[in-house]
Amino acid sequence: MKKINSMACALIALGTGLVISLPLEARVTRIVIDSKTTVTGQTLPYEQIRGRAFGELDPADPKNAVITDILLGVGSDGKVRYETAFTLVKPVNTTASSGFMWHGVPNRGGNATVSAGERELGDIGLTSGWQADNSGATAIPTNRATGTNFWVDAPMARQNGQLVTGKVLARIVNQTGTDSQALVVSRPASPVPYLPASLDTTKATLQIIDKETVNGVVTPGATIASGDWAFAKCDAKTPFPGTPIDINPANLPNNLPVHVCLKNGFQANKVYQLVYTGTNAYVLGVGMAAFRDVGSFFRYATADDTGTANPIAKIVKGSAVRGSSQSGNMIRQFIYMGLNQDEANRQVHDGAWPQIAGRRVAANSRFAQPDGVLELYQMGSEGAQWWVDWPDTERNLPARGIFSRCNVTNTCPKVIEHFGSAEVFALKMTTEWVGTSADADIPLTRNVRRYYVPSSTHGGGSGGFTHQIPAGVSCPGNNYGQGTLAANPVPSTQLVNVLGLAMRNWILNGTPPPPSRYPTLTGGNLVNPTKSAMGFPSVVPGIPDSIFAPENFIFPVFDYDWGATFNHSDASGAPSNIPPLIKKVIQMKVPKVDADGNEVGGVPTVLVMAPLGTYLGWNITAAGAHAGQVCNYIGGYVPFARTKAERSITGDTRLSLEERYVNHDGYVAAVRTAANSAFAQGYLLAQDRDDLIKAANDSTVLK
């Protein structure tokens, strides 16, 4: 059959006088279905298909040329191959499907499929791997057919048959004692993926950092002598120098994490910064291309090269890619790389919904660490973070935008993006809004909607109407410790519910989503990050003025010098300056606040409109190396006093609950007014409006 088709093509080519050259395509060549399970929780019968996709890339294809080191990942036949895991959640009877496919981006290897509500609508959920660092939750399972995480088997970069090497940075934060410590990127489940090329510590540098501020002022401490530490596991039973770690790349990922053992143990409240020569540099961009190809296969293909049918062939009428946090940043990088165009020049997805994500994930440079969260020296803010071509004046980079490549090929998706306050304070987001010069609101395009949930934590809080919430939260990131303030409960769930429907209606029916709502310079509600510029109330219990100091308050974008072999605009290539030099600190902006300290501007959000306290996009680190600084990307909450007498004791300048609402009924009335307003403006569904009013009524506020 294949032969006949080829002959037919040749005859057509001859007949039309055209010369057809069959391209070497970047595509999925084979899929394997490993399991099928029933999915419950909705009316329609659903099933989940778990499988693996095998694909190949042509490094000569210009669409793949954007991938760093792709030429160093070719096999003997000149192609680059990958294998990745996928799941497909779909109606058993595909004709019952809505025809809308969500392509979920796994966050650090986790699942990202459709909700019960979306299954009720008949939507399809495809999830597939993209993060090819084979470490922690993205590790390739021993039995690939039974694994449950999402991974990509991509080649390691080789030159002349040898694995390339390069500098790798790792930091050990707030650890104590004589036990060895693991090298992790942002959490225990995310080990630094790169093995040292040698156990020889004279070829590495381990330095103590006595103090570092959020704005990049580093106070270095002692450098630990090479004889006083080892790449080894050690503990009380096996003290220094311990047991040397296995650095054989053939044993990955089972020989991760890398461990470091110190002769004199780790001192409390310090950062240990290690620079070593790493090996096993995965060609990470291959994972990004694999995600493209899998999405394209399930959307467009009828079968693979071996005849295995696409289980949803000819069913998909529209699709959107969706990811939260790290995964949202992947989407932004995916579009930036031009990967929303497939091998046949088709647009892969109609829509994209990067959630709580204001940067581009570091997944296309040599020895990149995709699990990074923008802590000091972590990559992710390089190059254009905004959509349209816009000058990067402060970093002296050319005018570029995330849409630069897809504009040329007319493959830009419709975009919905939503953010919260924690992304502003610790995840360096406002550069996306105002650029590096921070002096103008960068326009969006017709195809982008932006929504900001004011005064909210990363991903939104737990919701509800609870006045007193116990203090103390865990700061995210690499062992930052605890926060001093209570958890911020402001939810984003209700907005997410609106936006999920809005995206599919936009794509399937052309119905415009609600207008964008976010703070702007023009509107006067995006200001410098100082207490006075923000208009923060003078006395709020538990919030010292010191938190507003530049060294404590907001994580700025740094203009890093990664070295001459790194493309600072594309965030590609091979960084050589490790750690990078900070050439400049970029001006950041923050939302203005009202007399209660709650942010103004953004989407009408019921709990912020009928507040029980001050809801913060930041918290305060209680102890450790970063004590007194913003507690990475977690929000905080300071409740109002219940009565005027109570607040007079602390000098709290914010009105008490009784002063604002009088009694429980008054509070419920305030929630009702807020909910009706948000609903009328299109930012709250009717069911959620009613549920919120009921929850307020059922609450104990002022009872």
Angle at 405 between CA 400 and CA 406, to 5 degrees: 125
CB of 103 to another protein, least distance (A): 22
**Of 452 and 560, CB closest to another protein:** 452
- When binding is defined by CB under 8 A, the residue of 229, 518, 562, 637 that contacts another protein is 518
Find out whether 637 and 426 touch, Cβ atoms under 8 Å. no
- Please name which of 152, 148, 158 lies closest in space to residue 75, comparing C-alpha atoms: 158
**Of 502 and 641, CB closest to another protein:** 502
CB of 318 to another protein, least distance (A): 15
β-pairing, 414-420 vs 351-355, is parallel
**Of 121 and 600, CB closest to another protein:** 600
SS (H, E, C) 306-325: CCCECCCCCCCCEEEEEEEC
For another protein, which stretch binds (CB under 8 A), given 9-17, 343-351, 519-527, 566-574?
A: 519-527
Residues 525-554 close enough to bind another protein by CB under 8 A: 525
**Of 516 and 569, CB closest to another protein:** 516
CB of 408 to another protein, least distance (A): 15
CB of 681 to another protein, least distance (A): 8
Residues 641-670 close enough to bind another protein by CB under 8 A: none
Structure tokens at 604: 């009408």
**Of 218 and 388, CB closest to another protein:** 388
β-pairing, 448-453 vs 414-420, is parallel
Structure tokens at 281: 């540099």
Angstrom distance (rounded) from CA 329 to CA 336: 11
Residues 495-514 close enough to bind another protein by CB under 8 A: 512
Residues 255-294 close enough to bind another protein by CB under 8 A: none
**Of 439 and 690, CB closest to another protein:** 439
CB of 450 to another protein, least distance (A): 7
CB of 602 to another protein, least distance (A): 8
**Of 107 and 385, CB closest to another protein:** 385
CB of 452 to another protein, least distance (A): 8
**Of 35 and 681, CB closest to another protein:** 681
Peptide bond into 257 cis (omega under 30): yes
CB of 443 to another protein, least distance (A): 3
CA 702 to chain CA centroid, nearest Å? 39
Structure tokens at 374: 């923008």
Site map 398..427 versus another protein, x via CB under 8 A? ------------------------------
Using CA atoms, how far residue 645 sits from 602, 657, 662, 667, in Å, is 33, 11, 14, 19
Site map 427..466 versus another protein, x via CB under 8 A? --------------x-xxxxx-xx-x--------------
- When binding is defined by CB under 8 A, the residue of 681, 694, 698, 700 that contacts another protein is 681
Angstrom distance (rounded) from CA 331 to CA 350: 13
Residue 699, C-beta contacts closer than 8 angstroms, at least 6 positions apart: 464, 465, 466, 664, 667
Main-chain phi, psi angles of 453, to 5 degrees: -90, 105
| End-to-end Cα distance, the chain | 77
Structure tokens at 70: 């792709």
- When binding is defined by CB under 8 A, the residue of 23, 227, 523, 544 that contacts another protein is 523
Angstrom distance (rounded) from CA 26 to CA 7: 23
517 binds another protein, rule: CB under 8 A? yes
**For residue 87, which amino acid is it?**
T
Angstrom distance (rounded) from CA 499 to CA 684: 10
**For residue 274, which amino acid is it?**
L
522 binds another protein, rule: CB under 8 A? yes
CB of 683 to another protein, least distance (A): 11
Burial of 158 (0-12, 13-18, 19+ CB in 10 A): middle
**Of 226 and 677, CB closest to another protein:** 677
Residues 200-219 close enough to bind another protein by CB under 8 A: none
User: Partners of 36 in the beta sheet?
Assistant: 49
- When binding is defined by CB under 8 A, the residue of 227, 472, 524, 544 that contacts another protein is 524
For another protein, which stretch binds (CB under 8 A), given 225-233, 346-354, 523-531, 619-627?
A: 523-531
Residues 601-630 close enough to bind another protein by CB under 8 A: 601
CA 320 to chain CA centroid, nearest Å? 17
Positions that interact with another protein (CB under 8 A): 441, 443-447, 449-450, 452, 512, 515-520, 522-525, 601, 681
